[in-house]
Amino acid sequence: MVETMIRTAKSILETRPIYHKCDETIRGHVFCSFLALRLKAEAERRMDERNETWEWAEVLRGLDNLQEVEATFRGHRYLLRSQLTGHAHQAIRAAGVATPPTLREI
């Protein structure tokens, strides 16, 4: 069961290949893989509760494309956030997290 879970985590979460030499790194990898699967299951549950239509690959693609850059203009510093794409917006909303504005001064 544990091996199946790890195999699933590696394929769904794209964490291959991983090579470990120490027991500590193996335990750390198993823990992080389990945590990632648990977070994925919770995100799916919350989106289902909200009757959101989603596809996991689209959620990941949207989150991967999310970027924030710092820019300086006329002595003022700003953070610019990319637009949310795919199903990332539904996942963020289902998590109860507020999306920061596209442009904000820091």
**Structural domain boundaries, residue 43:** 1-49
- Give the per-residue pLDDT at 61: 86
For residue 105, what are the contacts with CB-CB under 8 A and spacing of at least 6?
A: 76, 77, 78
81/32 same-domain check: no
CA distance 68 to 34: 28
**What's the domain count of the chain?**
2
61/15 same-domain check: no
* Per-residue tens of pLDDT for the chain, all 106 residues: 667 666 666 666 665 566 777 888 878 877 887 888 888 889 889 989 999 888 888 888 888 888 999 999 999 999 999 998 878 888 888 888 888 899 999 9
CA distance 82 to 66: 6
- Give the per-residue pLDDT at 12: 64
Q: What is the DSSP letter of 96?
A: T
33/63 same-domain check: no
CA distance 58 to 65: 10
62/85 same-domain check: yes
- Give the per-residue pLDDT at 75: 95
Tokens 């500590």, residue located: 24
Please tell me the pTM assigned to this model. 0.64
4/45 same-domain check: yes
- Which has the closest alpha carbon to 61: 88, 32, 81? 88
The answer to whether 32 touches 13, Cβ cutoff 8 Å, is no
